[in-house]
């Protein structure tokens, strides 16, 4: 039986969010599957990974400079050397870096190492420190990579200058278009459930509450829009929860901002909102934007790599500069155009999870058959 190891920094917010369709496809193809990642569930007992034969809790830290990663590297290297994996597929910057270093001997024995870059930390507009740290690291580590998957056009163009045996573009990790398109919801009841007035204009964001996701921009825009009929719902959890709550209070818009926490009903929330606003500073290919478009929900997003791959400005959504005035302008435009049909939110079929999984699975097989 062929064996595959998936490695990522965390389980709940990465493996469970993005990789279950791939684990399922591999299991159905007869592979023995394993996952190595940190158990990031609040209750560790909740960490149950479908389609996974063997799970290894390795305490990766997201910051590459944390000393805990030295211990994680040693554990990962021991795991790889004790198992004869046919393929090791790694994800996330830290998980991808430590895995490719730890798998060097295994590659000499025939193991193939795949790396999916979910958005390089260096990109147009990224801080100079990101370029100084992550660009040389990724270029060096590409030497130990058999297949490098990139998920947006900017990363693909840049990665072609690296040293991986093969560099590919695939359209993200894929979303279940049928699921999001066909989800039915009682809009009024759902709004009541989440504490939102039935007749308000509802802005939605879906994603972790961290600095990169830039939810602060929307809260500040609410203040400038100065309309009690505009509400904002955030679906997600994270380290900035208290900061964002305090910001809403300080600006006097706390009654218009609804913190929903980590949700498993995103498909219903997209059908309940009037627009998704995705103001990130950096993305690979944002899943929330893909899900919203698949649901028929227009999107306002910052003009960055990834979002620009998905949104045609003025057609299925809007691309804006990262500023409160720009967001206010497009929000007002969306309100005035509501139900006008000017914006038609549709996600092309190439982003469907079935298509993306099929494309990635072409590179699995017996070691000598992997391209």
Q: What is the mean pLDDT of residues 303-324?
A: 94
114 and 196 belong to one structural domain = no
Band of the pLDDT at 367, cuts 50, 70, 90?
Answer: very low
Question: Could you read off the pLDDT of 54-75 as tens digits, one per residue?
Answer: 999 999 998 888 899 999 999 9
123 and 183 belong to one structural domain = no
189 and 260 belong to one structural domain = yes
Report the distance separating Cα 115 and Cα 141, nearest Å.
10
Q: What is the CATH number of the domain that holds 327?
A: 3.40.50.2000
What is the per-residue pLDDT for 365?
66
27 and 107 belong to one structural domain = yes
* Residue written as token pair 């679906």: 235
Question: Could you read off the pLDDT of 238-270 as tens digits, one per residue?
Answer: 999 999 999 999 999 999 999 999 998 999 999
- Computed over every residue of the chain, the mean pLDDT equals 94
126 and 222 belong to one structural domain = no
Strand order of the sheet with strand 3-10? 54-57, 32-38, 3-10, 87-91, 112-117, 147-150, 166-169
Q: What predicted TM-score, i.e. pTM, was given to this entire model?
A: 0.88
Q: What is the mean pLDDT of residues 261-290?
A: 95
346 and 331 belong to one structural domain = yes
**pLDDT(207) > 80:** yes
184 and 328 belong to one structural domain = yes
Report the distance separating Cα 241 and Cα 247, nearest Å.
10
223 and 162 belong to one structural domain = no
191 and 309 belong to one structural domain = yes
224 and 360 belong to one structural domain = no
Question: Could you read off the pLDDT of 26-56 as tens digits, one per residue?
Answer: 999 999 999 999 999 999 999 999 999 999 9
Domain count along the chain = 2
**pLDDT(340) > 80:** no
65 and 196 belong to one structural domain = no
CA dihedral angle for residue 344, residue 348, residue 351, residue 352, rounded to 10 degrees:
90
Report the distance separating Cα 199 and Cα 191, nearest Å.
9
Q: What's the domain range around 116?
A: 3-174+352-369
84 and 144 belong to one structural domain = yes
């Amino acid at each position: 039986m062929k064996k595959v190891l998936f490695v990522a920094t965390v389980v709940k917010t990465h493996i469970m969010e993005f990789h279950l369709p791939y684990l399922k496809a591999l299991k159905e193809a007869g592979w023995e599957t394993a996952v190595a990642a940190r158990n990031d569930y609040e209750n560790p007992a909740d960490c149950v990974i479908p389609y996974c034969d063997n799970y290894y809790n390795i305490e990766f830290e997201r910051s590459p400079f944390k000393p805990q990663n030295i211990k994680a590297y040693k554990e990962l290297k021991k795991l790889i050397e004790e198992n004869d994996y046919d393929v090791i597929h790694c994800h996330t910057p830290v998980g991808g870096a430590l895995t490719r270093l730890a798998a060097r001997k295994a590659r000499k024995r025939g193991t193939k190492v795949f790396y999916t870059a979910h958005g390089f930390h260096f990109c147009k507009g990224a801080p100079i420190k990101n370029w100084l740290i992550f660009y040389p690291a990724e270029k060096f580590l590409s030497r130990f990579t058999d297949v490098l998957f990139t998920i947006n056009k900017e990363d693909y163009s840049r990665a072609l200058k690296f040293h991986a045996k093969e560099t590919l573009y695939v359209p993200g990790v894929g979303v279940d278009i049928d699921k999001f398109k066909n989800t039915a919801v009682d809009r009024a009841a759902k709004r009541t459930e989440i504490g939102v007035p039935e007749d308000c204009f509802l802005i939605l964001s879906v994603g972790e509450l961290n600095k990169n996701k830039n939810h602060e921009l929307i809260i500040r825009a609410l203040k400038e829009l100065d309309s009690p009929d505009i509400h904002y719902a955030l679906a997600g959890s994270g380290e900035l929860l208290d900061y964002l709550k305090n910001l809403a209070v300080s600006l006097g818009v706390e009654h218009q901002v609804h913190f929903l926490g980590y949700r498993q009903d995103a498909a219903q929330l997209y059908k309940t909102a009037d627009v998704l606003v995705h103001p990130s500073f950096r993305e690979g290919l944002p899943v929330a934007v893909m899900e919203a478009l698949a649901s028929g929900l227009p999107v306002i997003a910052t003009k960055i790599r990834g979002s620009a791959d998905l949104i045609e400005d003025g057609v299925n959504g809007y691309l804006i500069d990262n500023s409160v005035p720009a967001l206010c302008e497009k929000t007002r435009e969306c309100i005035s155009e509501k139900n006008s049909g000017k914006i038609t939110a549709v996600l092309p079929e190439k982003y469907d999870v079935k298509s993306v999984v099929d494309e990635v699975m072409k590179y699995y097989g017996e070691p000598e058959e992997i391209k």
